[in-house]
Structure 1
Amino acid sequence: MTATEARMAVALAQQEGWNPGLNDAEVFLAVNQEGMLCIHFDGQPIGFSSVMRYDSRYAFFGLYMVQEEFRKLGFGMAMTQKRLEMAGKRCIGLDGVTENVTIYSHIGFRSSYRNIRFCMPEAIVEQCLANSQLEQHSDITVIPLSSVSPHLLTAFDRFYFQACRSHFLKVWCYQEDVIALAAQYQGELAGYIVIRPCVIGSKIGPLFAQSRAIAESLLFTALALSNRPPFYLDIPEPNQNAINLANDNKMVIISEVMRMYRGTPPPINLAGVYGITSLEMG
């Protein structure tokens, strides 16, 4: 996929209501140029998809779109077959919209759990920040993520993601206009958060933390630094502490996707995933 085609893919994502990040085209190419795919008809790009091969064991499918007039003509499946070929014997993850779950099941994917998207409108953010002043955790320190060594960040991230992704983190966490913070508990790295600007508001992800208190400290500190509401957060349903955090802070459910796997995924500590990285990258 060329840079022009990547921008076209993000523009189509915006048209479809996906609310992409402002830097997504450049970031996706920087971390995954070989895995960004485009299909053409009559010399024109008509569909886009991606396969992110994180390591020899795990890959992730995302950014799957075909222009409306070319749907149900086999172009999408052609891209998927190419992605399956590129993924090889790796376990593959994806976040599928409800209407496509049956289609994915026919090619070997199995439903695992829902990722639920919550929204924090500006009024809710203001209330959360006011409430956060009432509850301070003296043993939790929030610092810039840039203060954490890349090696330490990568090692911490691996507890909550299915592969080591050092190069990805170097790009994702330091893209233009992001807010990226880390939390220390008793002097040790205990969580981190990234908020990236989107066409509408901002998306939070990842938000990984060893406890709800740490996740809230990161979240409220990051929200106080950002001026781009509303905020969107994708939470894995099995993490009840994360769901409770969202509900207790009056976040609003706006959509959901099904996390599916083809093969057995590497184990992670899902209890520490308070927000996934993105629906496009896992």
Structure 2
Amino acid sequence: MSLYKKSNLNLIQFDKSDIPGLIALSASVGWDYDQYEIATVMSSGKIFGHKNGKGEIVSSSAIIPYDNKLASIGMVIVNKEHRGLGLGKDATQKCIDSVSPDCSIMLIATEEGKPLYEKIGFRTVGHVHKFLCDSYLTPESLKPNSVTIENYNENDFIEILNLDKAAFGDKRSNFLHYRINQSKQCLVAKDTKGNIVGYGLSILGPENLLLGPIVAPDFQTAALLLDWLVIEHTGKLRIDVPSGNKDFMFFLEQCGFKNVAKPPIMMLNSVSLPARNSNLFGIAAQIFG
């Protein structure tokens, strides 16, 4: 039972001056948010949470609204000494209240957090598979196809935005702009006519090179994008793959990835994910849906 009183805590919206405190909160529960990831979250959405009388951050919850009627919640963290006060629920409800009542809200839950979200009204509609890799090896089965892989340039943005919308289920203009700027590498896949048919990002985190989003017309193109993104990286890798991508997940296992978790995707104000075209092979990160 917590020895702290809820009345002594203030629920606020955080700003850039709070980034060090949010990093410390993240580290206290074993998560690896860094200043660049939190800055992208703040640029794309809002982060709420509680501070104690000393100005220390003891809870957080973030929401990223997309262009139409979809938003994503993540970064729900409560300091271990302050659990049992309902801080996570209050911060998450603040996120929900910050968007329109007819906005569908998605999140990817931890097993610990799932009961909380169910009480608020979220329901499980799918899963993602968390893959980690300590040592990547390009498999012999990877064969070049008719696409070419090139570095992204600013003129590609509208085509990428449209591909992402069809794959993810909503347009993510602000988020993609900031995510591409944050990325270590952004690649596009072009067909024989020079049309962009896929793209992939890598984000250098404190522990892993994060891979995603990866959007492609087929798993072979997704595999090529991933291989190009990681080929010169010598550290650990992470990718989160939506269910249904069996061939791509088999490819990952051939490369040395291990499927270490299968967290649920949950929705509020909707009974299903938005319509998608099955071209999403890797999500940006669990906080972004």
Superposition TM-score, scaled by structure 2 size: 0.87
Task: Give the CA deviation at 1:135.
Answer: 4.2
Task: Give the Cα separation in 2 of the matches to 1:218 and 1:2.
Answer: 35
Task: Give the CA deviation at 1:99.
Answer: 2.4
Q: For each residue in 1:105-164, what CA deviation from the matched residue of structure 2 results, as whole angstroms up to 9, or x when unmatched?
A: 222111112211111212xx1x22xx35x7442511000122652211111110111321
The equivalent of 1:68 in structure 2 is: 80
* 8 Å CA contact 2:168, 2:276 repeated in 1: yes
Distance of aligned partners of 1:217 and 1:21 in 2 relative to their CA distance in 1, 3 Å threshold: farther
Structure 1 gaps of 5+ residues are: none
Structure 1's consecutive aligned runs of 4 or more residues displaced over 6 angstroms after TM superposition are none
1:49 maps to amino acid: S
Q: Once structures 1 and 2 are overlaid, which stretch shifts more, 64-73 or 136-145?
A: 136-145
Task: Give the CA deviation at 1:75.
Answer: 1.4
Percent identical across equivalent pairs?
Answer: 20
1:82 maps to amino acid: K
Q: Secondary structure at the match of 1:81?
A: helix
Task: Give the Cα separation in 2 of the matches to 1:161 and 1:7.
Answer: 31
* 8 Å CA contact 1:117, 1:233 repeated in 2: yes
1:84 maps to amino acid: I
* 8 Å CA contact 1:140, 1:217 repeated in 2: no
The equivalent of 2:222 in structure 1 is: 215
Q: For each residue in 1:214-234, what CA deviation from the matched residue of structure 2 results, as whole angstroms up to 9, or x when unmatched?
A: 01111111112334x210010
Which runs of structure 2 are paired with 1:20-99 in the superposition (5 Å)? 20-21=33-34, 23-32=36-45, 35-42=46-53, 44=55, 45-87=57-99, 88-99=101-112
Distance of aligned partners of 1:19 and 1:41 in 2 relative to their CA distance in 1, 3 Å threshold: closer
The number of residue pairs the alignment matches comes to 271
Which runs of structure 2 are paired with 1:1-282 in the superposition (5 Å)? 1-21=14-34, 23-32=36-45, 35-42=46-53, 44=55, 45-87=57-99, 88-122=101-135, 125=136, 127-128=137-138, 131=139, 135-146=142-153, 148-175=155-182, 178-186=184-192, 187-227=194-234, 229-264=235-270, 265-269=273-277, 271-282=278-289
Task: Give the Cα separation in 2 of the matches to 1:210 and 1:219.
Answer: 14
1:90 maps to amino acid: C
Superposition TM-score, scaled by structure 1 size: 0.89
Task: Give the CA deviation at 1:43.
Answer: 5.0
CA RMSD of superposed structures (Å): 1.9
* 8 Å CA contact 1:7, 1:25 repeated in 2: no
